[in-house]
Amino acid sequence: MQDLPSDRDALKALLDFHVEAGVDLALDETPHNRFAEPKPEPARGAGPVPERTVASADSRNPPPPPRALPKTAAGAPDEVASLAREQARHARTLEELEAILAAFEGCALKFSAKNLAFADGNPEGRVMLVGEAPGADEDRIGKPFMGRSGQLLDRMLATIGLDRSQVYVANIVPWRPPGNRTPTPQEIAICKPFIARQIELAAPEFLLCLGGPAAQNLLGLKDGILRTRGRWFTYKTEDGREIRALPTLHPAYLLRQPLQKRLGWRDFMTLRRALDAKE
C-alpha cells in the first residue's frame, strides 16, 4: 500500500479528493477485505442446516422486493418533465414552489438524498447565483453551497462587497446525486422547470451561472465554460422578461485549479461594475 504523504497540504488535497469522489463516511481506521473473512461459526449445539430446508424456507418467505419508485419517477422522462412544468407553473411564490418541489416525486434523486437543498440567501437580492447540484455538505444541511465550495464562494462575494444577505443562491438540481456524480440529462430535464420558475419568481437583476453545466442548461450555450466565462448573455424567462447573465467558473473547479482563481476574480469584478452602473 502506498505510504500516505506527510506534507499537510498533500494530506488536505488527498482528503479533498475523497470528498469530491463522494466518500463522506469512514467505516474503520484500517481497510478490511470482507470477502476474505471466515464465515461465523454456528452456535454451539446447533447442527448444520440442510440445504433443502433453507431452500424450502426461502420459497415460503421470499425476501421483500426492493422499494419501487413512485409511478411518476418510473415514467417516461418526457412525461415526468411535462408534469414538472405543469406543477412549477402553479407556484405563485417561492414558498409555494419549495413546497411543490418537496412533494414532487418525479425525480429519483429525491429518494437517495437526505434533504432538499432548495435555496439560500435573500430572494430579494439583485443577484442570483445558480450552480449544478448539491454535494455532501449541502445534502446534510439542506442548503446549497455549504461546504468548502460555499466557503470559497462567500470569500469571492466578500471581495466585491456582497454576502448571502444580498444574493440568492440555488442549483439546477436541488437533490444530491449519489456519490456526487454528475446529474444525468434526464434528471436535469426533470428539475429544470423548477429552477426556471425559481428564477422567474426571484426576478434578479443579474444571474451568475456557476460552472459550465449551469451556463449550458440555462443559457443554451454549447461552448465550455473557459470560452464563455466573463461574457454577458441574456436569460429569458417564460413570461418574456430578460435578465443579464454572466457565466463564471464553479468554486469547486477553482479549489481543484487554484491558478484559475484570477479568472474568477475578473468575472466577479465584471459583476461588481455592472451593479455599480445600475446603481
Q: What is the pLDDT of residues 50-100, one digit of tens each?
A: 443 333 434 444 444 433 444 445 457 789 999 999 999 999 999 999 999
What is the pLDDT of the chain when averaged over all its residues? 85
More confident: 153 or 39: 153
pLDDT at 126 over 70: yes
Residue 43: predicted pLDDT: 46
**What average pLDDT score do residues 12-21 get?**
65
The domains found in the chain, sorted by start residue, are 71-278 (3.40.470.10)
Nearest residue to 236 via CA among 212, 203, 210, 211: 203
pLDDT band with cut points at 50, 70 and 90 for residue 278: confident
DSSP per position, 105-171: ---GGGGT-SS----EE-TTSSEEEEES---HHHHHHTSSS-SHHHHHHHHHHHHTT--TTTEEEEE
Considering only 1-15, 23-37, 61-75, 170-184, which range has the smallest mean pLDDT? Answer: 61-75
CA-to-CA dists, residue 156 to 59, 265, 272, angstroms: 61, 7, 11
Summarize the confidence of residues 238-260 as an average pLDDT: 96
Report which of residues 7 and 187 the model is more confident about. 187
Rounded Cα gap, residues 83 and 41, in angstroms:
54
Higher pLDDT, 237 or 23: 237
Helix axes 212-219, 185-202, angle to 10 degrees: 70
pTM summary value: 0.74
For residue 247, give Cα distances in angstroms to 24, 40, 58, 205, 271: 30, 57, 57, 15, 10
Least confident of 43-52, 194-203, 245-254: 43-52
What backbone torsions phi and psi does residue 7 show, to the nearest 5 degrees? -70, 135
